[in-house]
Amino acid sequence: MRKQIAAANWKMNLTYQQGAELLKTILSADISLNENQIALFAVPFPYLELANDTVHQKKNYYAAAQNCSDKKSGAYTGEISAEMLKSLDVPYCLVGHSERREYFGETNEILSGKVAICLTYGLTPVFCCGEALKIRDQNAQNSFVEQQLRESLFHLSAEQILNVVIAYEPIWAIGTGKTASTAQAQEMHAFIRSVLQKQFGKEVAGQISILYGGSVKANNAKELFACPDVDGGLVGGASLVASDFMEIIRALK
């Protein structure tokens, strides 16, 4: 059975002290995850060691980075490499969040390099995709997302893609309070799985976790996660409030 994942993306929020407190509160709650459930915390780089140390107490809770470089190492001031993350025992890394694409010029081609280097160093990339409102208004979301997948993931082998998590995050739903309907989410997730199936086969596609992101809240997570092709969520705003994110973890299938 594929993994069901509740992933927090703190983005550029919280001080170290606030982050430590939030993690402590969430991890002290009595929420035990079963074999196929995972809780992830994508925290700012300087908090990764703290997050890793804190989550180690509990089964299936993991830290994640929010980004890494597509370069192996060298004169790239301010960048963080996949190898550095691995040396801190960080197991997951977000790749290609729409905010990285929009504000930092990350293209599908650059992201294909980021996915590859994560896999080289044994990190699981959480590859983000999703369309802007303009694309959805033209009803072109399927071909847009397919191109993102094709250009960033289709160089992988079937064995490699099994170590990738996908997050579908429609940009119009991020931070807007405007969540995709369960029908819209399920339709896109089923489409993404069909694209993966064509490239990697049915058995492989059936094992890949596809998370939904975009205004996931404590009061809509259960309904969204109940969709057959939605395997959890990537959560921004609501992951900064302990009680809300705890509720979202509890909503996992």
- Contacting positions for ligand 13P (CB under 6 A): 9, 97, 169, 174-175, 213-216, 234-238
Known active-site residue 189: no
Contacts 24+ apart (CB under 8 A), 151-155: 151/108, 151/109, 151/111, 151/112, 152/96, 152/108, 152/109, 152/111, 152/112, 152/115, 152/127, 153/112, 153/115, 153/127, 154/199, 155/112, 155/116
Of the candidates 99, 106, 131, 169, the residue annotated as catalytic is 169
Residue 66: closest CA among 47, 43, 34:
43
What's the rounded Cα separation, in Å, for the pair 60 and 137? 39
Least Å from the CB of residue 128 to ligand 13P: 7
Least Å from the CB of residue 172 to ligand 13P: 10
Cβ-based nearer residue to ligand 13P, 9 or 124: 9
Least Å from the CB of residue 246 to ligand 13P: 15
With b for 16 or more beta-carbon neighbours within 10 A and e for fewer, the 211-233 pattern comes to: bbbbbbbbebbeebbebebbbbb
What's the rounded Cα separation, in Å, for the pair 215 and 187? 18
Least Å from the CB of residue 240 to ligand 13P: 9
What's the rounded Cα separation, in Å, for the pair 91 and 69? 16
Known active-site residue 79: no
Cβ-based nearer residue to ligand 13P, 200 or 245: 245
Amino acid at 189: H
Task: Return the DSSP state at 122.
Answer: T
Cβ-based nearer residue to ligand 13P, 87 or 176: 176
Q: Which residue is nearest to ligand 13P (CB)?
A: 236
Of the candidates 97, 106, 131, 189, the residue annotated as catalytic is 97
Least Å from the CB of residue 174 to ligand 13P: 4
Cβ-based nearer residue to ligand 13P, 19 or 214: 214
Cβ-based nearer residue to ligand 13P, 67 or 200: 67
Residues recognised as catalytic: 97, 169
